[in-house]
Amino acid sequence: MNIEKFCERYSLGKVINVTKISGGLMHKMFKVETDKGIYCVKVLNPEIMSRKEAYGNFVVSESVSNFAKQNGIHVSSALSIDGNYLTKLDDMYYMVFDYVKGKTLKDDEITVGHCKKIGNVLAHIHLLDYREIGLEPNAVEYKRLYDWESYANNSNFNRMSYKDSFLKNYKKYNSMLKRANQRLNSSNKNQTICHSDMDPKNVMWNNDNPIIIDWECAGVANPERELLEDALCWSGFLSGNFSEEKFVAIFKEYFKYRTIKDVDWYDVICGNLVGRFGWLKYNLERSLGIILNDEEEMKLAENEVLKTIDEINRYLDLIGDMYDIITKLTIEETKNYDSVVQKIVDNNELLIGKKFKLITAGFTNTIYSVDDYIIRICTDSDNEERFATEISFYKENKENDGIPKLYASDISKSVVPYYYEIIEKVSGKTLYELWYKLSDVERQKIVIKMIDILRPLHSKVVKGYEFLEMLKTKVLYLRDKCNFDEEMFNDLINMCYKYFKDNTFGLIHGDLHFDNFMFDGTNLYLLDFERCMVAPIDYDFKIFSRYSVQPYLWASSKTDMVTVESDYQDLMSLFLENYPELSNIPYINERLEFYSIIESLDNYKNTKDEERLEEVREKIQRLKEQEIKMKE
């Protein structure tokens, strides 16, 4: 790098002073004063420029910035030197910009007013027609998973400051990344011109007017993902000072100029993790000397790894809140049941005069909070039978301390034209929100509490029925719907006779998953009894038995991405170790696997996904091989 030589060669003048400008994690930027003017000179990272696509990307990005300038957007574009935006000298690439008077803003200097202006500028960038400058859509399909283990085995790894933090987290990354890839691909359909790096370091402010700089990542990309990322950057998320007010301000201002319809924002939010994992991988390789050996660059990358691991963890914790915020801004107004709740409140002495608040406007039930009480209203008539089942369950099991109390209910529709119930409001968080943070000892204690709640239900004296015949009927039904071969059908029928000849019946919850358990640090509560039924008690574990493979299928938007397989490998073992009434059931593991087979066939029936059918074949084969070993 020789800035003096570069300036002299290309007639920028004799250098008087050179000052390194902060910011820029991949390239180096300098303020250069010459006897002809003041410039910003960017010295491009040699490793980046060694990539075959790099030069072309820079040419595209500068054509985009000039197009934005022509359309009234205040930008800083590279100067043309001998007809080129990039100039090579002695194996180094340089870009030159006019020096822009102004300043970048720190988090504590950013106001809601600044955020509104960013929302405005971003919308107008996205309204530019990329076809006018000859660009094409750029929707790449992502499937990348990374060998995180290899970085931990690198010879330089043990001296890295991020060692402990990386080892604590990396085993979960590919589970998250696989699902993030899927969601990014699903949400990547919309394409517009994007700046793709419009965070606070790339916006200069002159008299409160934004000038957008550093367009090197610009091109055609997904606008919703950029909107989300910029809202995060300008609301303080990157430094751990997230402001919902600033986040909302960017979205609201953006929507004034550019309308977005039919966007799955949960896919956008989760898909946005892909870039963060890619950035983590890149900086791991830089810091460990895999792709460079510049000590200064390696130290910068080491710090970036620490920051990015922390940022990923904070992003995961914020997913549910972001989704709720954006949903409120974008969905059409839902039907308001406030007048219904008011009638319920006025007709119940426990609630008279109390204020209420909507918690969830669901498809089947609408839920309100009233001080220490919850009002659940069955707003879907098709769900009334299940709703009545839950009310009966509460009445018959009120002695169980792990079940919220039922204070009042009505299915007569005499007060309001809906079934409703008033139950105890329990505090705490769902087990999905807590499980990934718990130690093995803490997890075992939780499982024991779960068993203490379930045992009284499972031990109730109930009237059994021909569960074997029910399963056979289900297999026959699935054969007709899935059209699987005779051998598979015979194997499944034989398993029914072998594993389900004897059954231990009880009252089961019917929908046991971690979103239906609330824990406040001391007390554990089980919720949602609409699917309770009489059945063999092991049938209550048909979902938990699948947690070792796909625990996130039952998670909410708040916890989906933090729910990974590695945290649930021992869940069923903990139940079997601490619940003898369950573990003593003959063929317990085989029965649970059979339930999983039925679920996979149900999934195949609906999706015709051949992977599900192959899963079934593999499970059947494993069971047959186990049986052979037992005979030996």
Residue type, 44: L
Mean pLDDT computed over 435-451: 97
Query: Per the structure block, which two tokens stand in for 503?
Result: 């059954």
Cβ–Cβ contacts within 10 Å for residue 224, how many?
A: 23
Is-contact 288 156, C-beta < 8 A? yes
CB atoms closer than 10 angstroms to residue 610: 9
pLDDT level of residue 28 (50, 70, 90 thresholds)? confident
| pLDDT for res 355 | 95
**Whether the Cβ atoms of residue 89 and residue 5 lie closer than 8 Å to each other:** yes
Do the Cβ atoms of 444 and 578 come closer than 8 Å? yes
pLDDT at 54 over 80: no
Per-residue confidence band for 153, with pLDDT thresholds at 50, 70 and 90 = very high
Instruction: Choose among 154, 152, 161: nearest CA to 306.
Output: 161
User: Is residue 88 pLDDT above 90, yes or no?
Assistant: no
* Domain range list for the chain: 3-98, 107-330, 338-424, 460-631
> Which two three-digit tokens encode residue 467?
């569960």
Helices (H), 170-287: 173-187, 223-234, 244-257, 265-271, 273-287
What tokens appear for 366 in the block? Answer: 């609408």
Euclidean distance between CA atoms 376 and 365, whole angstroms? 6
Three-state secondary structure call for residue 517: strand
| CA R_g for the chain | 30
Report whether pLDDT(467) > 80: yes
Same fold, 107-330 and 460-631: yes
CATH architecture assignment, domain 460-631: Alpha-Beta Complex (3.90)
E-state strands within 496-591: 505-508, 517-519, 524-526, 533-536
More confidently predicted of 177 and 102: 177
Q: Is the pLDDT of residue 301 over 60?
A: yes
In angstroms, the CA 519 to CA 365 distance is: 22
* Torsion of the alpha carbons at 474, 476, 478 and 481, rounded to the nearest 10: -140
Share of the chain above pLDDT 90, in %: 73
| Tens-digit pLDDT profile for residues 492-544 | 999 999 999 999 999 999 999 999 999 999 999 999 999 999 999 999 999 99
- Mean pLDDT score of the chain: 92
Domain covering 3-98: architecture: 2-Layer Sandwich (3.30)
- On whether the CB atoms of residues 143 and 278 are closer than 8 A, the answer is no
pLDDT > 60? residue 479: yes
Q: Which of 3.40.980.10, 3.90.1200.10, 3.10.129.10, 2.40.50.100 is the CATH number of 107-330?
A: 3.90.1200.10
Phi-psi region of 72 (alpha: psi -120 to 50; beta: other; left: phi over 0): left
Q: Which of 71, 353, 102 is nearest to 204 (CA)?
A: 102
The phi-psi region of residue 244 (left if phi > 0; otherwise alpha if psi is between -120 and 50; otherwise beta) is: alpha
Higher local confidence (pLDDT), 90 or 415? 415
Distance CA(579)–CA(298), nearest Å, equals: 52
Q: Is the pLDDT of residue 207 over 60?
A: yes
Contact 376, 365 (CB under 8 A): yes
Q: Is the pLDDT of residue 334 over 80?
A: no
pLDDT band at 114 (very low <50, low <70, confident <90, very high): very high
Predicted confidence (pLDDT) at residue 561 exceeds the cutoff of 80: yes
Is the Cβ–Cβ distance between 230 and 202 less than 8 Å?
no
pLDDT tier at 262 (50, 70, 90 boundaries)? confident
Token readout for 71 is 């359309």
CA distance 323 to 265: 7
Q: What is the DSSP string of 428-480?
A: SEEHHHHHTT--HHHHHHHHHHHHHHHHHHHTS------HHHHHHHHHHHHHH
pLDDT digits (tens, 9 = 90+) for 348-405: 999 999 999 988 766 689 999 999 999 999 999 999 999 999 999 999 999 999 999 9
Q: How confident is the model at residue 260 (pLDDT cuts 50, 70, 90)?
A: confident
The contacts of residue 286 (CB under 8 Å, 6+ apart) are: 292, 297, 298, 300, 301, 304
Number of CB atoms found within 10 A of residue 69's CB: 15
Counting residues of the chain whose pLDDT is more than 70, the rounded percentage is 98
Q: Could you tell me if 533 and 510 are in contact, meaning their C-beta atoms sit under 8 angstroms apart?
A: yes
Q: Tell me what the mean pLDDT of segment 95-119 comes to.
A: 91
Residue 383: the pLDDT is: 94
**CATH number assigned to the domain covering 338-424:** 3.30.200.20
- Is residue 25's pLDDT more than 70? no
pLDDT at residue 23, rounded to an integer: 52
- pLDDT top residue among 631 and 434: 434
Say how far apart CA 609 and CA 511 lie, in whole Å: 24
Length of the chain in terms of residues written: 632
pLDDT at 297 over 90: no
Mean pLDDT of 451-457: 97
The pTM score is: 0.83
